[in-house]
Chains A and B, each alone.
Chain A
Amino acid sequence: MYNFIQGPLVSIAFVIFILGLIFQFFQFFRLTKKKEWIYPPVDVKREKKTAGKWITFCLASLNGTLWKTDPLVTIVTSVFHVFLILVPVFLLGHNILLNQSWGFSLWSLPESMTDILTGVVLICVAFFLGRRLFLSRVRVITSLYDYVVLLIALAPFLTGYFAYHQWFHYDTVMTVHILAGEVMLITIPFTKLGHMLFFFLYRFFIGNEYSFARGERTW
């Protein structure tokens, strides 16, 4: 069992993750088409902004969105999502394994730093859990599925933290850690976690008042 989780299942998980994302990507383009008109119109000349103007523009935009209504959640969710990607990709242990398996590795962060960043991710998850449990506006739209998704996101980091500090039985913790990572990879394209891909598709491609780019597609 341990050999399967550590060996073939890793490849299976990566294949499902990548093919799943590719499938969802193409499905999105199949389901959407180019708009007959776009917003804002093409003939509106875009003002060329200097660096200073860009900063002012970005700050003004932040002021008009979630930064103003819910700054704490904005900070926590931004930090959480950045570290969620950063930690596993630039973790020394993962890169050593990558080098041993495929002969290449990415740049690695110092272990003491990834340890702290993992702690930050865990605190962020605790914050989200607290919101789900104690804020009525979040509780009213929360189902068991939301807790499962939160657990899927939490498990690889919690078990990784335990493994790094060698708490509990190391081999068991490592097996659970690898399994948790695989479950996360497999579920990303087909669950709520799919917003990892669809966030960009929705915000950049779909024509909408809140598009980051000039959304040229419609459903």
Chain B
Amino acid sequence: MSDQGAKPVDTKQIKEMLDRKEGKMKRYLSHCAHCSLCAESCFLYMAHHKDPQYMPSYKAISSLGKLYKKKGKVDRKLLTEMKGIVWRNCVLCGRCYCPIGIHIPSMIAFARSVLRSQDVYPQLDEVSSESWL
């Protein structure tokens, strides 16, 4: 099990990862019309009484979008917040539908990779997934 509190965040590594996929991800993020039409395609959004934080676009914008906006300069607190968004609020089922054609699961999956590179991921000994947020 990793010690999530001890290791400092390697912002350089995050920046390198973000730069590697910048062409695709930045285009996806910048072309999202913020229309919210992807909402109903997410079963978690429907199952949580249409809570907007379960919308696919919200999840991508508040995780990967924030990472690009801050150019990777994030602290552990923010990464831990993102952990809840990309693991608890999304199961990567790939059913989200974007009318423009943006592939949202690839954005969430990439956000997970960035978080995992900093040892931020769900722990086996966590009492419940609710404790992530």
Contact = CB atoms under 8 A, between A and B. Distances in A.
B127 interface: no
A210 B95 CA distance: 10
Given A69-B40, A210-B97, A195 B55 contact: no
A5 to B, nearest CB: 28
Interface string A13-36: 000000000000001100100000
Interface size class of A (residues with CB under 8 A): 20 to 34
Contacts of B35: 73, 77, 138
Interface stretch (A41-49, A51-59, A101-109, A198-206): A198-206
Contact of B57 (A77, A141, A203, A210): A141
A219 B36 contact: no
Contacts, number: 81
B37 interface: yes
Interface in A59-75: 65-66, 69-70, 73
Interface residues of B, number: 31
A208 B101 contact: yes
A141 B58 contact: yes
B102 A219 contact: no
Contacts of A66: 37, 97, 99
Contact of B34 (A65, A142, A198, A219): A142
Contacts of A206: 101, 103
B32 interface: yes
7 contacts: A66-B37, A69-B40, A141-B57, A192-B32, A195-B31, A202-B100, A206-B103
Given A31-B23, A219-B106, 15 more contacts: A137-B55, A140-B52, A140-B55, A140-B58, A141-B57, A192-B30, A192-B33, A194-B27, A194-B30, A194-B31, A198-B31, A198-B100, A198-B101, A211-B101, A219-B24
